[in-house]
Structure 1
Amino acid sequence: MITITLPENYGAPIAVALGAIPFLGFIHGSITTSLRKAAKVPYPHSYATIEECKANPKAEQFNCAQRAHSNFLENASQTMLFTLVAGLKYPNAAAIAGAAWVFFRSLFLYGYVYSGKPQGKGRMMGGFFWLVQGALWGMTVFGVAKDLLTF
């Protein structure tokens, strides 16, 4: 039988990983859905064509929202896992880093969709999420995994 002892303040990493990150995913989906209607891109099509974007600025904005949402989905699950696992050893640091990730991902979304910069280049304002995600990975691998491998 294996017993896992959770740190006293492990609720903070749980709140970020299982609360804030999924909530940001809901926001992504809501924005993308609302812009789909304005862009007139019917289901099941994922993106507007280049021609549609040239004819309708809302189509380009929809594409930016769709790509921001896809990028979020590509990174959210591992960030949730890193936050939960790193939180076993570093609950406060993991919660702070997870919250920072949510903050920078929000900036990424805002910049991508609403900055008005061509080709979604406004997303760079939130690009620091990569550094935070790397820090969470580092806390997971070098902090927790190291302890798990020493029997």
Structure 2
Amino acid sequence: MEAFTLSSDFGYVVLVVVATVFLLQWLGIQVVMARKKYEVSYPRMYSDNDDRFNCVQRAHQNTLEVYPTYLILQIFGGLYAPKLGALCGLIWLAGRVAYALGYYTGDPEKRNRGAFGYIGLLTLLVCTVMFGLSLLGFI
């Protein structure tokens, strides 16, 4: 078995992952504030009366739905190319912010403003595949 050395550049990846924790907290706070504003009490997840609350809730929920995939790709892709991986993570994070801010307008179509975040995610996917192939000795 060959030894694996972790690049010091992986610190950038770690910091980007930490930044996403703040993203999740910000999204959660937006839901709490929207609950008060649109009078949606717990434990209800969505409003039958106001889709503006539902837009805020969906921005948070969708991010939570894709977050495990992002984390796996961020860590493994970052092991292969730490600086590129960190940059891709920042692109994904910025895309999530743009996605949420677009959704918060109350027009669900405006969430697509954050679609550029998939550039980061798909690049992380490529880096992750490259990492796996390199571990197997194919590249």
* Normalised TM-score (structure 1): 0.85
Distance apart, 1:43 and its partner CA: 0.9
Identify the match of residue 119 of structure 2 among 128, 131, 135: 131
Given the alignment of the two structures, is residue 121 of structure 1 paired with residue 81 of structure 2, yes or no? Answer: no
Counterpart in the other structure of 2:44: 45
Deviations 1:17-48 (A, max 9, x none): 2x111110000000011101111111111000
Query: Contact (CA 8 Å) 1:7, 1:89: kept in 2 or not?
Result: no
Counterpart in the other structure of 1:85: 76
Counterpart in the other structure of 2:133: 146
Residue type of the alignment partner of 2:121: Q
Deviations 1:42-71 (A, max 9, x none): 11110001xx12xxxxxx221001101111
DSSP-derived class of the 2:41 partner: coil
* Contiguous gaps of at least 5 residues in structure 1: 54-59
* Counterpart Cα distance in 2 of 1:14 and 1:84: 8
Give aligned pairs, total. Answer: 138
Distance apart, 1:2 and its partner CA: 6.7
Q: CA RMSD in A?
A: 1.6
Given the alignment of the two structures, is residue 13 of structure 1 paired with residue 13 of structure 2, yes or no? Answer: yes
Single out whichever of 75-84 and 86-95 deviates more from structure 2.
75-84
Query: Contact (CA 8 Å) 2:13, 2:75: kept in 1 or not?
Result: yes
Identity of aligned residues (%): 32
Distance apart, 1:150 and its partner CA: 2.8
Runs of 4+ in 1 over 4 A off after TM superposition: none
